[in-house]
Amino acid sequence: MCLAIPAKIIKIDGFIAEVDIEGNIKEVNITLTPEAKVGDYLLLHAGYAIQILDEKSANEIFEAWDDVYEAF
Amino acid sequence: MKHSNKKEYARYLLERLYQEIDRPLTVMEVCGTHTVAIAKSGLRDLLPEKMRLLSGPGCPVCVTDDCDLDYVMALARQEGIILATFGDMMRVPGTASSLLQEKSRGAEVRVVYSPADALKLATENRESQVVFLGVGFETTTPVVAAALDQAVQMELKNFSVFSLHKLVPPIMRVLLDDPQVKIDAFLNPGHVCAILGTEPFQFIAKDYGKPCVVAGFETTDILEALLLIVRQYREQSPAVDIQYKRAVRPEGNPVAVGFIEKYFSPITARWRGIGEVPGSGLELREEFAQYDARKRFPITLEPGKSRKGCACGEVLKGIKLPYDCPLFGKSCTPAKPVGPCMVSTEGSCAAYFRYRRQKAGVDH
Ligand code: SF4
């Protein structure tokens, strides 16, 4: 039931945001992510944004671990 | 990333797993999207023998009780009611029929993609009562709460929710307390944790001493999470770790949690094949009773008889694998499902059935 396609916000009008999902433009409700801004990537579920994605920290964890475990 | 592509990185992670695993580990996921991702990737055949992956009660459709569904169908049969539901509920059997069968007999059942579509149905059909069938875990509930919030603001008089919403942490506790269920660690559901964060899962590490890693849905995400579990065991430091950092913060999404808490409160819920679990379901709060379909349209039903022979309950708890059910692939197939685990695309039986002949590579 969960869809994890990242959607990029192009425009915001109240609680409705226009998003780009791999080239398709759609309207989604951002009531649950009120701090979302144009340019953010959203995690969508059933027509609503449920979280703002953080692209920066995506790979953090293993880059740190890699060094620690190099010894094994 | 040091690795040029995902395939190479997946291979590296697998290698690490083989080198680092030093004891047998049974890991359970409790998320339908993980069930499908794991079945599709063929990971089970590639992992070290010491590592077993089980699918738990992670598909909200599969855990919906058949007697609860009987109520929903009785409601759908009533004159003047439009029942709006997510598509994957249509073929799930109650004790006697399914919503699809009810629809073919004339019940007003509409498939919607979002609860917002159900709201729209209500504004367009003022003479009918629109009942939205609320099924789903903590990922879905805030979305339904947000739609309810809109209904309240619009003062919609012909919209209500039939809540069959369920909560993930209480069912994980049930599994941990069941002596038949042997789990060493959990792959936590990524999108449930995007809402809840890690706090509601801390008891698993603290009280049960078992690792939990919140994982994403790509093969490399799952492998990273499994490696984190192996390392937690090696270091004897069970904790709730987040692999899926892109979507999951330790605090989750407090706005979404606030919406759930504003509209819903915990109740005892029935889980198919598992039974009643206190505090594992959600009902609408008393002050929103007019939006609660159960209160608005009370029906007394003779309890129906659950179907015999379906091992869904044991499959949902990871005691049996789908292959162990005598009906699997014989009288129970996705085309002619006996139990809900074969109906929903995210059900364990359906995922095993669909991908069983694929001995796939890592990168799919
Ligand atoms: S194979 Fe069919 S009957 Fe057996 S447990 Fe799965 S859904 Fe139930």
pLDDT reading at B312 higher than 80: yes
Domain enclosing residue A34, as ranges: 5-71
Taking the CA of residue B59 and the nearest CA in chain A, the distance in Å comes to: 8
Q: Are A57 and A27 in contact (CB under 8 A)?
A: no
At a CB cut-off of 8 Å and minimum separation 6, what does B144 contact?
Answer: B115, B132, B134, B136, B161, B163, B165, B263
pLDDT, residue B3, reads 62
Can you name the residues that pair with A33 across neighbouring β-strands?
none
Percent pLDDT > 90 in chain B is 76
CATH number at residue A20: 2.30.30.140
Interface of B with A in 152-191 (CB under 8 A): 190-191
Neighbours of B158 (CB within 10 A): 18
- Ligand 1 pocket test, pick from B314, B336, B338, B352 with the greatest ligand atom count within 8 Å of Cβ, gives B338
Distance between CA B245 and CA B234 in Å, rounded?
23
Distance between CA B143 and CA B332 in Å, rounded?
33
Taking CA atoms, B2 is separated from B159, B231, B246, in Å, by 53, 20, 19
pLDDT, residue B345, reads 83
> Which of ligand 1's atoms lies nearest the C-alpha of B328?
1
pLDDT reading at B153 higher than 90: yes
B331 or B252: whose pLDDT is higher? Answer: B252
ipTM of the complex: 0.89
pTM of the model: 0.91
From first to last of its 72 residues, chain A has per-residue pLDDT tens of 556 567 899 999 999 999 998 889 999 999 999 999 999 999 999 999 999 998 765 444 444 445 444 433
pLDDT, residue A3, reads 61
Please give the torsion angle defined by the CA atoms of residues B22, B363, A6 and B151, in that order, rounded to the nearest 10 degrees: -80
Contact of A47 with chain B, judged by CB distance below 8 Å, is answered with: yes
What number is the average pLDDT over the span B271-277? 90
Number of domains in chain A: 1
Rounded to 5 degrees, what are φ and ψ at A24?
-95, 135
Is residue B332 lining ligand 1, measured as CB closer than 6 Å? yes
Neighbours of A15 (CB within 10 A): 17
